[in-house]
Amino acid sequence: MNKQKTIKSKFFLEGKGLHTGENAKLEFLPAPVGTGVVFIKQDVNPPILIKGDFNSIDDFDNYPRRSSIGLGDNHIQTIEHLMASLSLLSIDNIQINIWGNEIPGLDGSAKDFVEKIKEIGVAAQEASREVLVVKEPIWLEEGDSSIVLLPSDEFRISYGLDYENLKIGSGFADIVLDDKHLDNFYQARTFCLKKEVDNLLKMGLGKGANYKNTLVVSDQGVVDNKLRFHDEFIKHKILDLVGDLYLAGPIKAHIIAVRSGHSLNMKLLQKLRRYKQKTSSAGVPSRAGYIPENTELDIEEIMKILPHRYPFLLVDRIVELDRGKRAVGIKSVTINEYFFQGHFPEKPVMPGVLLVEAMAQVGGVLMLACPEHRGKLAYFMAADKVKFRKTVLPGDQLVMEVWTKKIRSRTGKVAAKAKVAGKVVAEAELMFSLV
């Protein structure tokens, strides 16, 4: 099971921003479980906290050719190389105090960030990583650039590069990202075409760039510098993509990108934000990692585990709980139930879909009440072998028995039966994703 991680101790870095040319100082601090990546601007009063996630992304039109985050009038520019280093080393929780408006460019890659974090050390924490698992294709295209995300058991990037400049040219790279076996691409430096330089300076960009931290490419080759490795150009594009994607947090997918840059990456992040909202909205999340001590739970304890509230909380009491093995819940059905107003009001019958939902809620309690699943989310993924055998009427008391068929660190499968007066009224096998 992958654990969340932070750094072992604090450290400092400082330098000029590639675009603003302004000096900035960074202080890196360990952070508790669940913090995420947070930046705190210390040069304003009071200090401003800006989350390093896809809810804080700045308008790319205002900050072209780099990735920036902001809150109100406060912004932090060119975060992609730093974010890439956190992604590569699986740093989930970290506080970064910043004095300045742009992350230092350093040598134009993520090399200094990665090497400093490795020197300080990484510490595992007592909580599982929350990974965004892509379960269906997601794609985006803009002109001759495109990105496709496909389901995969690993974080993999396949990138196709194609420049008219013959010294950059075309190329393809395929990298599986694993913090135990770092590829050299974190050392790949940013680059631009020599013919772009004057226009970039007119736009107010590149004020901190020089021939050491930026590969300037003319028709004759790299100006006053040498490549660190033959595929440094394409690997820097992958570095930028990794950094941008980490604004969505840890991700599991096969990313296939062709000529993508920050503009398309930012639009992809907006798609991923909506995808994450869509896939989590049908979940049964634990409210606060609450683990009950009793084998019988009243309604208040159930509400500490499940997020549901009236009129959609369909379990009144858990009368038996054998953690990770079996649970029995009850639901007293009355004529005052909201669904009887529109579902055959002349002859009230409880809808079958709500019988399945009620059994799923008992299943959610069964799994989320286990200490090993503290703080996880149980996403109701599928129902199989669903059968409705008798109608459920006002005045009936549903007794829902759910028992584990298979439960792992990331998935759970339960069987469920609902009875009235000892007779089965519905049954099903229910699948959950535990993240």
Active site residues: 262, 343
Cα–Cα distance measured from residue 296 to residue 203, given in angstroms and rounded to the nearest whole number: 66
Mapped onto helix, strand or coil, the DSSP state of residue 353 is helix
Which among 435, 102, 33, 52 is positioned nearest to 243, based on CA atoms? 52
Amino acid found at 343: H
Strand ranges in 187-305 using DSSP code E only, listed in sequence order? 191-193, 215-218, 221-222, 251-252, 254-258, 283-285
3-state secondary structure 77-116: ECCHHHHHHHHHCCCCCEEEEEECCECECCCCCCHHHHHH
Residues 6+ apart with CB under 8 A from 58: 68, 69, 70, 75
Cα–Cα distance measured from residue 14 to residue 68, given in angstroms and rounded to the nearest whole number: 18
Measured CA to CA in angstroms, residue 236 lies from 208, 229, 285, 386 at distances of: 18, 11, 38, 51
Measured CA to CA in angstroms, residue 314 lies from 26, 41, 72, 339, 364 at distances of: 50, 46, 42, 12, 12
Measured CA to CA in angstroms, residue 308 lies from 221, 311, 355 at distances of: 62, 8, 15
**Helix or strand (DSSP H, E) at 263:** helix 262-281
Tokens of 187: 């050392």
Mapped onto helix, strand or coil, the DSSP state of residue 326 is strand
Write the burial class of residue 260 (CB in 10 Å: 0-12 exposed, 13-18 middle, 19+ buried). Answer: buried
- Can you name the residues that pair with 3 across neighbouring β-strands? 128
Amino acid found at 221: G
How many residues would you count in the chain? 435
Q: Are 196 and 65 in contact (CB under 8 A)?
A: no
**Helix or strand (DSSP H, E) at 140:** strand 138-142
